[in-house]
Copies of this chain bind each other. A is one copy, B any other.
Amino acid sequence: MRAIILAAGRSKRMKPIEDKNFLKFLGKTLLECQVDIVKKAGFKNITIIAGEHNIAKIKKTFPKLEVIKQKNLDEGMAGAMDSLHPYLKDEAILILSANDFLDESAFNLMKKASEKSPAEILMLAKKVKSYFPGGYLEVANKNRITDIIEKPGEGKEPSDMINIVLHIHKNPKKLIETIKKIKTAKDDKYEMAIAKLIKEDTHAEAVPYTGLWQALKYPWHILELQKYFLSTIRKSKISKTAKISKSAQIKGSVIIEDNVKIFDHATVVGPIYIGKNSIIANNSLVRESMIGDSCVIGFNSEVARSNLADHVWLHTNYIGDSIVSENTALGAGSVTGNLRLDEGEIRMDIQGEKTGSNSNKFGSVIGKDCRIGINVSIMPGVKIGENAFITGGLIINQDIPDNSFVKGKVTLEIKENKLDGSKLKRSL
């Protein structure tokens, strides 16, 4: 069986995150994590479907894997299947995507189910306890799927199982031919084709699953998935080449990579991951976070429950419950607010729609290559686009588009000083 990893998506709902496949967890990109899990579950043949925007980088990262370019990105999974078609051999396929993170157990479960079952299609069926706005599986005897019902509404669920994209197709060519027959302007031809096959009596089976599943659709999902990864640090690993000042404090489970430097009076509270060459400077506090490679957490900064990519430079900042992309720097005194005054749910504008994060603690999402000045106040839930430059002292209470240069209006009233500072001698 060949594992097909769908990695051509453009992470639109994750903006300004450039490409969720390259988010890093414990020092590895999400795509590397997924390839590792698939390999560990025994899949030797792996194909990655990439897009125009990331194929070069994916090929470079995985020189030994088959990487296929998806032509039509607007067609979603159907487009991926279409581009896969010419390369398909006479074998079953397992499909997974960056939208759903699953651990090894899910893959093992699917493999075993596939071996035992006569079904042509097998779909991972996550058992949920409360309503989730996704696709529910209607099942008959022995979990045979009779229908897929998108967002049935609370109380109208046909089962407690939702459809997660970890699918096995023993006859993928039949699926692809069916997809081609579907006429719709929407991007759900893949799902419609499966529904059609089910109705035409193709045997599809739900594989009930209670293990780890983390959607990766919205920015806050990154921090949720990060929590899982952090929880897997069972034992601290500190590189021998790391230099840790005697006055620094290390607490809890930590991974500290090569050449990390931790300066005086800094505190590192696990679970935490600190990537190679990074500096945790004097008096800084980093906790429950992932910090990329070659980051500088300058004097007096606090990083809490955040994900920092490589080459992030801080200096006397508070970064809380936030995501900061590569090569971004903040000036002294700048702060990400991570709690509304009313302590209500943080909402974020996702493709024009205010979307709740299910959390009352969420900071900001900052794109790559940003330069943020001194004493900037960033309000909770704000997104700062790639390559945005923000001058000092501003209050950022709105999303900032990619490639913005942001100034405020400074009106200083300069009058004659009738006081004499020399008479206010400071003395000890």
- Interface residues in chain A, defined as those with a beta carbon under 8 Å from any beta carbon in chain B: 245, 247, 249, 251, 263-265, 267, 277, 279, 282-283, 285, 294, 296, 299-300, 302, 311-313, 315-316, 318, 320, 327-329, 331-333, 335, 337, 339, 341-343, 368-371, 373-375, 377, 379, 386-398, 400-401, 403-422, 424-428
Contact = CB atoms under 8 A, between A and B. Distances in A.
Given A379-B392, A400-B414, A408-B411, 11 more contacts: A283-B285, A296-B426, A318-B332, A331-B339, A369-B421, A371-B421, A387-B420, A391-B395, A403-B417, A405-B418, A407-B412
A183 to B, nearest CB: 41
Given A342-B389, A393-B395, A414 B419 contact: no
B333 A375 contact: yes
Contacts of A265: 247, 249, 265, 267, 283
A134 to B, nearest CB: 32
Given A283-B285, A403-B416, A408-B395, A421 B370 contact: yes
Given A294-B428, A421-B327, A427-B311, A341 B374 contact: no
Contact of A335 (B263, B375, B387, B411): B375
Contacts of A332: 302, 318, 320, 335, 337
Contact of A333 (B285, B377, B422): B377
9 contacts: A264-B267, A267-B282, A296-B426, A341-B389, A375-B377, A387-B417, A387-B420, A391-B397, A406-B413
Contact of A387 (B331, B379, B406, B422): B422
Q: Most B CB atoms within 10 A — which of A312, A386, A425?
A: A425
B420 A414 contact: no
Contacts of A302: 299-300, 316, 332
Given A265-B249, A311-B427, A416 B412 contact: no
B401 A414 contact: yes
Contacts of A397: 391-392, 410
A310 to B, nearest CB: 9
Contact of A393 (B369, B377, B426): B377
A373 B392 CA distance: 16
A406 B414 contact: yes
B294 A427 contact: yes
Contacts of A404: 414-417
Q: Most B CB atoms within 10 A — which of A312, A421, A425?
A: A421
B377 A422 contact: no
B405 A412 contact: no
Contacts of A370: 421
A329 B249 contact: no
Contacts of A414: 400-401, 404-406
Please give me the 10 A-B residue pairs with the lowest Cβ-Cβ distance, nearest first.
A369-B421, A393-B395, A377-B393, A405-B417, A318-B332, A375-B377, A341-B371, A377-B392, A249-B264, A341-B389
